[in-house]
């Protein structure tokens, strides 16, 4: 049997509070990240992702204090990202209690960082996050929380990240982020065909069917969502029961 598909709430953190926007802008508060993380852990989430969404842009370090507090409150794996630029950042976050670390901007600027993390801590620790938009000339990767376009194509960069030792790819479609019309399933499917490491779908969840499609059409290994969980639109328990009924292997 294939590995169980994972449901992952994502908590975008800014100035110590969870926020959520649309297309990476128009942010509104969604609550305390530690309390939300604890609630999701108890509600049956498989993993959590905490992203300090302005750390790269403001050249700040992710707050380790929050990571330590989260680690004390939850009993499921969690990933931390935002402002991770060197091995010392990874070591600091893992020591604080994180299970995995997500790299995005720094990995594009210094791809050798992926190899360094994988060599030092193991590939399972290294999640390469990719924020991409389907522009007129195809899918391109963006830096600094979606503010700066690069010349890296989504699919080429994902393959390079895998070759350099990434353990997972967290792909966020900027076009779909917060719009709640479904994930970028065509792009997800292309990634799944070309990669052998797990792919986490991000951006677009609005109803339970969107998660089903991410798994059945996009062939994602995990589906990440934020606002539908934060604002009580979908419960994790109901979502998992629905997916199970649709024939998708999920942890109950």
Question: Catalytic amino acids?
Answer: 12, 131
Nearest-angstrom CA–CA distance, 102 and 84: 8
Looking at the DSSP bridge assignments, the partners of residue 102 are: 81, 127
Beta pairing class for 100-103 and 78-81: parallel
Angle between helix 112-121 and helix 154-164 axes, rounded to 10 deg? 40
CA dihedral 3, 45, 32, 12 (to 10 degrees): 30
Nearest-angstrom CA–CA distance, 215 and 244: 12
Contacts of residues 58-61 at CB distance under 8 Å and 24 or more positions apart, as own/partner, are 59/83, 61/89, 61/92
227 DSSP assignment:
H
CA dihedral 225, 42, 89, 82 (to 10 degrees): 20
Nearest-angstrom CA–CA distance, 107 and 202: 19
Q: What angle do CA 227, 229, 231 make, to 5 degrees?
A: 65
């Amino acid at each position: 049997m294939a590995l169980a598909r994972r449901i992952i709430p994502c908590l975008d953190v800014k100035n110590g509070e969870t926020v959520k926007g649309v297309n990476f802008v128009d942010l509104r508060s969604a609550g305390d990240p530690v309390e939300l993380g604890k609630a999701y852990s108890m509600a049956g989430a498989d993993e959590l992702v905490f992203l300090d969404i302005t750390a790269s842009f403001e050249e700040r370090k992710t707050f380790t204090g929050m990571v330590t507090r989260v680690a004390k409150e939850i009993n499921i794996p969690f990933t931390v990202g935002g402002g991770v630029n060197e091995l010392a950042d990874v070591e600091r976050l893992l020591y604080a209690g994180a299970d995995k670390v997500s790299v995005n901007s720094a990995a594009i600027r210094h791809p050798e960082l992926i190899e360094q993390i994988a060599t030092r801590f193991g590939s399972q620790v290294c999640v390469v996050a990719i924020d991409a938009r389907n522009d007129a000339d195809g899918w391109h990767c963006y830096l600094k929380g979606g503010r700066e376009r690069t010349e890296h194509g989504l699919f080429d960069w994902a393959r390079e990240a895998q070759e350099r030792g990434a353990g997972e790819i967290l792909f966020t479609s900027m076009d779909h982020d917060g719009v709640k019309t479904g994930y970028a399933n065509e792009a997800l499917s292309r990634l799944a065909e070309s990669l052998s490491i797990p792919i986490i779908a991000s951006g677009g969840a609005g109803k339970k069917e969107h998660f089903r499609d991410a798994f059945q059409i996009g062939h994602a290994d995990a589906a990440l969502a934020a606002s539908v969980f934060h604002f009580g639109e979908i419960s994790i328990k109901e979502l998992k029961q629905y997916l199970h009924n649709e024939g998708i292997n999920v942890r109950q």
